[in-house]
Amino acid sequence: MSIRLKFGVALAALALSGVALAQTPSGKPERIRGDIVSLDGDVLKVHRRSGDTVSIELKPTIAVSSVKAMQLADIKPGSFVGTAAITGTDGKLTATEVVVFPESARGTGEGHYAWDFGPNSTMTNANVDTVVQGTDGRNLKLSYKGGSNEVTVPPNVPIVTFVPAARTDLSPGKQVFVVATPASQGALVAQRVVVEKNGVAPPM
């Protein structure tokens, strides 16, 4: 299997893990966001934004990735993106971040579902049909299996794409996003790890 294909599979696992959390009850995969405290052997300690510190087991085969900044102008019709957004009182979606998927990961996590960035937060993984300049940013018309919607992307919203990383990038103080599943006796096992690199933190 080529490196590119392996990475595409890894990205698919990340996106699908996120979908699983959105659709299943507590006790299933969860998203952990915070700062790395330490990496001791196969145990990653993360100080979460909620204030507590958790230990996460990293299996030898776990993939580690990071994100690279992109520009709003890099999003074109035909791009496949994942965007977290907040639904306003008018029902319109305003993006809080946008991930542009590599072509090898097109279709992963496709759909529109609840997210955990706060009240009225959603995630849409979809194809970009059109990009139109609006008064508050660029409006992306998105389509996915079973539906479509429109998201406004303000100029200051982080836009990134996935790039490979390594365990050596998991250093104390770096911001990290982990999808993990519960194991025995309350332990957590990482399914996907996205770490800050070159000053670009995972915005998801």
Instruction: Report the pLDDT averaged over residues 49-72.
Output: 94
- For the chain, how big is the Rg over CA atoms in Å? 17
Q: How confident is the model at residue 135 (pLDDT cuts 50, 70, 90)?
A: confident
All domains of the chain in start order, with CATH? 3-66+163-195 (2.40.50.140), 68-160 (no CATH)
For the range 138-145, what are the long-range contacts, defined as Cβ-Cβ under 8 Å and sequence gap of 24 or more? Answer: 138/72, 138/75, 140/75, 140/81, 140/83, 140/95, 142/81, 142/83, 144/110, 144/111, 144/112, 145/110, 145/111
pLDDT-above-70 percentage for the chain: 87
Residue 39: the pLDDT is 97
CB of 95 closer than 8 Å to CB of 151: yes
CA dist., res. 98 & res. 160, Å (int): 6
pLDDT at 179: 93
Contacts of 44 (CB under 8 A, 6+ apart): 36, 38, 55, 56, 57, 58, 170, 176, 178, 190, 193
Q: Is the per-residue pLDDT at 22 higher than 60?
A: no
Identity of residue 97:
E
Quick: pLDDT tens for 161-203.
999 999 999 999 999 999 999 887 778 999 999 999 999 999 9
pLDDT value of residue 136: 80
